[in-house]
Homo-oligomer: A and B are copies of this chain.
């Protein structure tokens, strides 16, 4: 059921996810700090881009990080060893739909940029609830490419972004899932679901985000999908080039960029 990871597993992709996490960490992780001794499971840790921030914000928590890709886990482990050598994380290989933990094993679950890749996020969320003790919390963070709004506006850039939405849909996922997080969590039996928009707005006054978000995160992510978009017949080389160029254009001093992430916290009411 877990679909192919649409972003691929290249070294460049690893770097992109690292840049993204570092620039956006404060925005996304604000409010997430687990008590010392609490049992926390990060689901779909990938290359550890969020894990480094989890251990920084919750130094006393007992963090288990799981991913379906052995190579990603190795990179995550190396990243933690380099960036947070004192942190103790337990690394587990496993599929989000069939995780090797007894019921109620965790006080908190953390799921960031994972649901967008799943064919059946409802089934995944329902299964994850089993791993939470009653009263435990689930935190979900997802993007939504429909919130990407920029200046100068460009039909070419919008078309390039839409290619990502189409590719994600073809792979069984949903790059517009941010807007659906609350109904998904409610339908999966979670209660007290609180969703906050975490909006990134970038203009010439924020050169760190111009570099870290517009160039190194969002445009790099779109650009990395060029071969797949071309192979799927969703664009042409010329159209794609213009789209990427127009996204880079928004990083000029008079450009602006807007994108909203959706962060949800919800409670497992128990059976």
Contact = CB atoms under 8 A, between A and B. Distances in A.
A204 B179 contact: no
Nearest to A153: B176
Copies in the assembly, this chain: 2
Given A149-B146, A183-B256, A205 B199 contact: no
B193 A201 contact: no
The number of chain A residues touching the other chain, given as a range, is 20 to 34
Contact of A179 (B149, B183, B186): B149
Contacts of A179: 149-151, 153, 256, 258
Interface in A133-154: 144, 146-147, 149-151, 153
A123 interface: no
Contacts of A187: 254
B193 A180 contact: no
Contact of A258 (B150, B201, B254, B260): B260
12 contacts: A146-B149, A146-B153, A149-B178, A151-B179, A151-B183, A153-B176, A153-B179, A182-B203, A183-B255, A195-B203, A195-B205, A201-B262
Given A183-B254, A195-B203, 19 more contacts: A144-B258, A147-B147, A147-B149, A149-B176, A149-B179, A150-B179, A151-B180, A151-B183, A180-B256, A182-B205, A183-B256, A186-B254, A187-B254, A195-B205, A196-B201, A197-B199, A197-B201, A199-B199, A258-B260
